Amino acid sequence: MTSAALVLFGVLGYTQLSVREFPDVDPPIVSVSVTLRGANPAVMESAVTDVLEEQLASLEGLRTMTSSSSEQSSNINLEFNLDRPIEDAAQDVRDIVSRVRGRLPQEIEDPVVNKQDADARPMMFIGVESSQHDLLQLSEIADRILKPRLQTVPGLARADVRGERRYAMRVWLSVSALAAHDITVQDVVRAIQARNVEIPAGRIESERREFSVRSLGELKNAEEFANMVVATTGNQVVKLADIAKVELGAEDERSYFRFNGRPAVGLSLVRQSKSNLVEVSDAVREALPDLQAALPPGVTATIGFDQSMYVKRSIKEAEETLVIAAGLVVLIIFMFLRNVRATIIPGLAIPASIVATFAVMNALDFSINNLTLLALTLAIGIVVDDAIIVLENAYRHQEELREPPEKAAMEGTREIAFAVIATTVSLVAVFTPLAFLKGSTGRLFNEFGIAVAASVAISGFVALTLTPMLCAKILRVPPRHGALYKVLERGFTGLATGYQWLLGAALRHRMVVLGGTAALLAGAVAAFFTLKREFVPPEDRGQIQIQITAPEGSTLAFTDEYQRQVEAILAGIP
């Protein structure tokens, strides 16, 4: 009953475990982004970045602070100690930014504080396309419908619109007309700023009612802009239409986004630094049908890239490896025991020990990842040892001492119980120290070490409880051996004979054996120091990303021309 309860808790724990590629080793990262229209990198650094850095440097638990100042933009990344809660760190950053806001230029947009690296790679791309809407309309749809709803997904830091075309009133000034009316560009800018504004105009009060009054000064369309008075020279009134062409269009066209070769608008989704990639991706996919239903007819939103697909594929392969390893272990046990009843006993000990480990993992808030699955795969070959020891001794009591199954199981287990406990404790002592490693390496191997130690400890318990019970119920000495037993026995006899000869030769040539062993050990040590050191080995994720850099000063049209050539080459690859 106890073993059944462990398995039941393990199954329940498995259903509640989250899925990751690796254990959570991401440090808490908070970023601050500030935009100042028209400012060059030098201005951004002196007026914004330096001011913020001076105050943010005093944050509690701050590990590193990096910043970059570019045209119109300043980004500061703050990495905190692993034990610093990201919510607390983000709130402290917001408090400091709020206090410093008055020392920054008034023209800046409100600083944005995110719980992720400002340079973080997107976890997902969504393409928004339509044959019935232009890019301006698609940008409006993405910005007003998709972006706000996606940003409510738990664990998502931000959703950025790529290839966006924002509506703006484009004013194309005529140089000759400006000169003819003696008007400068600054005169036009000031006129637009003065007349395109909506301000409160007070209120109207009566004995019983009160009304707020506002002046309708904000211009709404191209015609109103064109009829706006820019200046008066004598008796002549100069309107904007006299010196410029006014039209509604895109604010700027500084980027292109194509989806499967077709013009589109993209949404790049960036998760929070401590969020679960698979859970965030699943939440986005779950929300996508409702988002699609909210879009206008003819507009489709399609996932073009999802980083979690590789993680899921990797975890699936690791799970398949775990099952295959368990099957191979059972097969090898059968080859040596050559008894179906005897094979069933350690065969049941494997899932009992492995499945029960999931309960421990869930209690410690671990996840199913490549390292924990690797730990369980490694443990399969270890947990079966205790069961085989108990099984073999119980079988010996039945075969040699002619004891009944119940007594053979009890006496056989009593004889080797101390050996099983000693073996279990020694193996647990080997893997448990991994849980006490510090830093990112400790975080990475913490779950690995505890998963192996827990499975080994449970296997010792199973070997002293479940295995004796199974031996008493199903283990029997066959009256005679079958053909398979005899065939395998001849093979094992040959192996034993060969080993006996090899052992005799080794004992006769002790110095040769010792010298060869020393040479192998020296070669292994030398090879160890020549191996490359890396945190995680490189992997083939089955995807190719191509980044093209144009010469400095290249226009968007020039870059797009070569981009299309690359797209054509890639489209021709089968």
Kindly report whether the global pTM for this prediction surpasses the value 0.75: no
DSSP secondary-structure letter at 350?
H
For the beta sheet containing 299-306, the strands, ordered from the edge strand earlier in sequence to the opposite edge, are: 156-162, 265-271, 124-130, 299-306
In a shared domain, residues 223 and 351: no
Which residue type occupies 107?
E
Q: What is the mean pLDDT of the segment spanning 89-99?
A: 91
Q: CA separation (Å) from 313 to 25, 122, 271, 370? A: 21, 19, 20, 11
Which residue type occupies 257?
F
* Torsion region of 111: left, alpha or beta (phi above 0 gives left; psi -120 to 50 gives alpha): beta
Residue at 98 is within a domain: yes
pLDDT tens per residue, range 133-189: 888 889 899 999 999 999 899 988 888 888 888 888 888 888 888 888 888 888 888
Domain that holds residue 384: 2-21+311-477
DSSP secondary-structure letter at 142?
I
In a shared domain, residues 186 and 91: no
Which residue type occupies 542?
G
The CATH number of the domain holding residue 320 is 1.20.1640.10
DSSP secondary-structure letter at 45?
I
Residue at 144 is within a domain: no
Task: State how far the Cα of 55 lies from the Cα of 358, in Å rounded to an integer.
Answer: 45
In a shared domain, residues 208 and 324: no
Query: Please, are residues 43 and 108 in contact by the beta-carbon 8 Å criterion?
Result: no
Residue at 359 is within a domain: yes
- Which tokens in the block code for residue 395? 């079988």
pLDDT tens per residue, range 43-72: 889 899 999 999 999 898 899 999 998 888
Which residue type occupies 116?
Q
In 3D space, the residue among 86, 71, 93 whose CA is nearest the CA of residue 101 turns out to be 93
pLDDT at residue 499, as a whole number: 93
Query: Please, are residues 374 and 448 in contact by the beta-carbon 8 Å criterion?
Result: yes
Backbone angles phi, psi at 271, to 5 degrees: -85, 165
Beta strands in 308-431 (DSSP E): 367-368
- Containing H/E element for 476? none
Backbone angles phi, psi at 323, to 5 degrees: -65, -45
In a shared domain, residues 333 and 452: yes
Angle 254-271-89 from CA coordinates, rounded to 5°: 110
64: exposed, middle or buried (Cβ count in 10 Å: 0-12, 13-18, 19+): exposed
Task: State how far the Cα of 63 lies from the Cα of 119, in Å rounded to an integer.
Answer: 17
pLDDT tens per residue, range 505-554: 999 999 999 999 999 999 999 999 988 877 777 777 777 888 888 887 78
Q: What is the mean pLDDT of the segment spanning 228-235?
A: 80
Residue at 197 is within a domain: yes
Task: State how far the Cα of 416 lies from the Cα of 471, in Å rounded to an integer.
Answer: 15
pLDDT for 216 beyond 60: no
In a shared domain, residues 361 and 451: yes
pLDDT at residue 517, as a whole number: 94
The CATH number of the domain holding residue 96 is 3.30.70.1430
Residue at 526 is within a domain: no
DSSP secondary-structure letter at 145?
I
Which residue type occupies 327?
G
pLDDT at residue 504, as a whole number: 92
Model confidence at 334, pLDDT cuts 50, 70, 90, reads: confident
The count of structural domains within the chain is 3
The CATH number of the domain holding residue 185 is 3.30.2090.10
